[in-house]
Chain A
Amino acid sequence: MKPWPSSAARQSLISCPSCELLSKVPANLDDRVRMRCPRCGATLHARKPNSLARTWALVIAAFIFYIPANVLPIMTVTSLGKTQSDTIMSGVAYLLLHGMWPLALLIFFASVVVPLLKLVILVYLLISVQLRSRWRPRDRTRLYRITEAVGRWSMVDIYVVTILVALVHLGNLATIRAEAGAVFFGAVVVITIFAALTFDPRLIWDRLEQSHE
């Protein structure tokens, strides 16, 4: 395989994260001075700062929140004096019992599989970068793109709770309350979106270039 031409970093160039203008890094750059893009004023970093440490911290926080998000109820239905609390999984089970299996599958996938898959992929990417893996960088970049794209769909259960709370407002007949599980679940979605934003996929390729030298 022919070695790849060159990364911008190896030519002492930094690409602006906003406008993509390339800037030359001065040879005697003081660490404490922040470089700014001459065109748009964005702060320039060769790589996202502390990408690995920050992504690890966010991924671990999301894993921790993922537990109460699934164990605690996300909503309580009060109907004619009876109250019933639902977790994400009991909501899925309810849909299955009532023959709504396409919906059950959708909620299970969006609320349980997607957040977990996203976290597992990020952990894998973090470890592969730290172990200086050279394995399939193109596919690993593709995995990163998937984590960026699918995370938002986990919000669907939060929205379902919001809509049910707004619609089912019938005094003694039926009311629905959002519960703590939904808060933790929302936190997981937000934290994993930040985790995907702080991970720098260019690190996957940096390891490849370093091993050519």
Chain B
Amino acid sequence: MTEPTFIACHECDLLQHLKSPPPGGSARCPRCGAVLHRSKRDSLNRTLALSLAGLTLFAVANAFPFLAFEMQGQVTQTRLFTGVRDLYDQGMWGLAALVLLTTIIVPAVQLTLMLYILVPLKVGRAPQHLAGVLRLLQNLTPWGMMEVFMLGILVSVVKLAGMATIVPGLALWAFGLLIFVLAAAAASLDPHLIWEKVRYAP
């Protein structure tokens, strides 16, 4: 494609040429400063590798002990899911659903959808319903809050430090790593590249 692509800024609607960003940088809207396009190197392979690593970490984060709480000889073992289950048992199903969604379901769906898109593209095929899947992936972004949950863990640990011993489990480390891996995967995914692969079809 040699013809220049026109786009409208998503934050101020200014009509402009889509410029390719400098390596490692980003292209911004000259009027409002919104980021329009970030440079991504080797987007497909990188995102694919990060998503696979992410899925592995996600499995570890959910299958192994998360935090242990030790007070006067009594030990409570928890998993990532324990808090959700306990909230539900206390009749707080709304809160349980909110926590489940933002810390477990959204990251899981994000990783799965990325792989669903990228594995076929890697072998040179376009997956079915690509447009809808990519749109769902975009709409999920505000609802994944693993990094906020991590901050919640730090706060809880400090709060309880005076009265009990908190022992981090393997799952906690996996969860911490997953935050960075998922953020890196989302950052290396290049939607422009993928939209170009969507066939114009009725």
Identify the A interface with B (CB < 8 A). Answer: 4-9, 11, 13, 15, 17-22, 38-42, 95, 98, 100, 103, 106-107, 137-138, 141-142, 144-145, 148, 152-153, 155-170, 173-174, 177-178, 182-183, 186-187, 190, 193, 197, 201-202, 204-206
Contacts and interface: CB of A to CB of B under 8 A. Distances in A.
Contacts of A164: 156, 159-160
B158 interface: yes
Interface string B157-200: 01110100010000000000000000000000001100100101
B13 A206 contact: yes
A186 B195 CA distance: 35
B7, B12, B76, B86 interface centre (most CB from chain A within 10 Å): B12
A9 B13 contact: yes
Nearest to B162: A98
Nearest to A185: B95
Contact of B95 (A5, A158, A201, A202): A158
B13 A152 contact: no
A40 B195 contact: yes
A170 B131 contact: no
5 contacts: A7-B15, A8-B14, A159-B99, A170-B76, A202-B13
Nearest to B76: A169
Interface in B1-21: 6-8, 10-16
Contacts of A145: 11, 34
A162 B83 contact: yes
B71 A173 contact: yes
Nearest to A36: B202
Nearest to A100: B158
A10 B137 CA distance: 30
Given A159-B152, A167-B69, A183 B13 contact: no
B95 A39 contact: no
A142 B71 contact: no
B33 interface: yes
Contact of A19 (B151, B153, B195): B195
Given A39-B195, A169-B69, A182-B92, 15 more contacts: A6-B14, A8-B15, A39-B200, A40-B195, A106-B151, A141-B32, A141-B34, A155-B145, A158-B99, A159-B149, A159-B152, A162-B84, A163-B152, A168-B69, A173-B72
Given A15-B8, A142-B33, A182-B95, A165 B86 contact: yes
A158 B155 contact: no
Contacts of A178: 87, 90, 92, 95
B82 interface: yes
A160 B13 contact: no
A145 B11 CA distance: 9
Given A162-B152, A186-B98, A204-B12, A18 B160 contact: no
B201 to A, nearest CB: 9
Contacts of B124: none
B90 A165 contact: yes
B44 interface: no
B7 A20 contact: yes
Nearest to A11: B15
Contacts of B72: 173
Contacts of A13: 8, 15
A174 B74 CA distance: 11
A52 to B, nearest CB: 16
B98 A158 contact: yes
A20 B84 contact: no
Nearest to B149: A159
Most buried by A among B78, B98, B198: B98
